């Protein structure tokens, strides 16, 4: 049985796709079999792995009953890492699924066949930065949740909103077993007092949830997607790659 983890935050620009691509690559490097599903119509996960998604290659045809999910799985250049890319048409799912009797259960139903097969150790969902059908159905389908948070002034406020959403989904019986794998601090700048204060504040409020691993602000991390590579391939010995390898170890420890 695969473990499904949604990587999400309703705020944009916090490093969701960067974390999705690089954590997936780091887990694959450790010998795990990973499926990354891009749920964000901006479709950045594919380009970050050097792929150009073709029309009809996303989950959209699966959502509307035109294809099986197995048909959409694409191999990547990273051994052990497969991808279902996104495309702009995926935004149409917001309308299509909303018409159904139980829209939040749609993604969970679609993923169930490959989850139960155990073909992949982990299925990671790269979620869009908005509280719509695509994001909430991802939370409904997930076993666990990883929340990237940028080291900035409104970090705690953003975390509070996503935790409130998780609690509502649990209380309403949409996904009562959903748990927080961890909160990941991203874009950390050790030179600024603000970054230090944000980390300290979150560690005080969520002592058991914040990952010990902190992802630094790094030019190399920003450059890697433009070369179609994960940071592990682009700068394997750099601080970004080291941080995501550490995160993968902590991620596995928490899930075990």
pLDDT in tens, 15-74: 789 999 999 999 999 999 999 999 988 888 998 999 987 888 889 899 888 999 999 999
Question: Cα–Cα distance between 44 and 206 in angstroms, integer?
Answer: 30
Sheet holding 179-188, edge to edge: 74-75, 81-84, 34-38, 122-126, 3-7, 144-150, 179-188, 210-216
pLDDT for residue 33: 96
196 vs 111, higher pLDDT:
111
Give residue 203's pLDDT band: very low, low, confident or very high (50, 70, 90): confident
Which stretches of 108-241 are assigned E, i.e. beta strand? Answer: 122-126, 144-150, 179-188, 210-216
pLDDT for residue 162: 85
Of 250, 6, 242, whose CA–CA distance to 122 is shortest?
6
Determine how β-strand 3-7 pairs with β-strand 74-75: unpaired
Question: Cα–Cα distance between 205 and 60 in angstroms, integer?
Answer: 38
**pLDDT reading at 154 higher than 80:** no
Query: How far does Cα 70 stand from its chain's mean position?
Result: 20
Residue 6's DSSP bridge partners are: 125, 145
pLDDT for residue 247: 97
Question: Cα–Cα distance between 93 and 95 in angstroms, integer?
Answer: 5
115 vs 156, higher pLDDT:
115
pLDDT in tens, 69-96: 999 999 999 999 999 999 887 777 777 7
Determine how β-strand 74-75 pairs with β-strand 81-84: antiparallel
Q: What is the mean pLDDT of the chain?
A: 88
Question: Cα–Cα distance between 207 and 202 in angstroms, integer?
Answer: 7
**pLDDT reading at 246 higher than 80:** yes
pLDDT for residue 235: 93
The total number of residues shown for the chain amounts to 256
pLDDT for residue 155: 67
9 vs 145, higher pLDDT:
145
Quote the tokens at residue 100: 């159904």
pLDDT in tens, 122-144: 999 999 887 788 888 899 999 99
pLDDT in tens, 101-126: 777 888 999 999 999 988 999 999 99
Where residue 87 falls (left for φ over 0; alpha for ψ -120 to 50; beta otherwise) is: beta
pLDDT for residue 85: 94
Of 48, 12, 40, 6, whose CA–CA distance to 240 is shortest?
48
The burial class, CB within 10 Å (0-12 / 13-18 / 19+), for 66 is exposed
pLDDT for residue 4: 97
């Amino acid at each position: 049985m695969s473990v499904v983890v949604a990587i999400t935050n309703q705020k944009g620009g916090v490093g969701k796709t960067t974390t999705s691509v690089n954590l997936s690559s780091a887990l694959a490097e450790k010998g795990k079999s990973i499926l990354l599903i891009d749920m964000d119509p901006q479709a950045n996960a594919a380009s970050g792995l050097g792929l150009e998604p073709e029309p009809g290659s996303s989950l959209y045809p699966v959502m509307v009953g035109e294809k099986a999910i197995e048909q959409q799985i694409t191999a990547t250049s990273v051994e052990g890492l497969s991808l279902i890319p996104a495309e702009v048409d995926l935004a149409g799912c917001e309308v299509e699924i909303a018409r159904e009797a139980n829209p939040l259960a749609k993604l969970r139903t679609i993923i169930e066949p490959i989850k139960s097969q155990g073909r992949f150790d982990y299925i990671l969902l790269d979620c869009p930065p908005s509280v719509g059908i695509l994001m909430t159905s991802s939370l409904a389908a997930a076993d666990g949740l990883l929340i990237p948070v940028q080291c900035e002034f409104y970090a705690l406020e953003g975390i509070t909103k996503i935790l409130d959403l998780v609690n509502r989904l649990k209380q309403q019986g949409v996904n009562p077993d959903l748990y927080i794998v961890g909160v990941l601090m991203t874009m950390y700048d050790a030179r600024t007092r603000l970054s230090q204060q944000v980390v300290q504040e979150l560690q005080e409020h969520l002592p058991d949830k914040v990952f010990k691993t902190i992802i630094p602000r790094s030019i190399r991390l920003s450059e890697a997607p433009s070369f179609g590579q994960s940071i592990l391939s682009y700068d394997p010995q750099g601080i970004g790659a080291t941080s995501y390898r550490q995160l993968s170890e902590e991620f596995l420890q928490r899930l075990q």
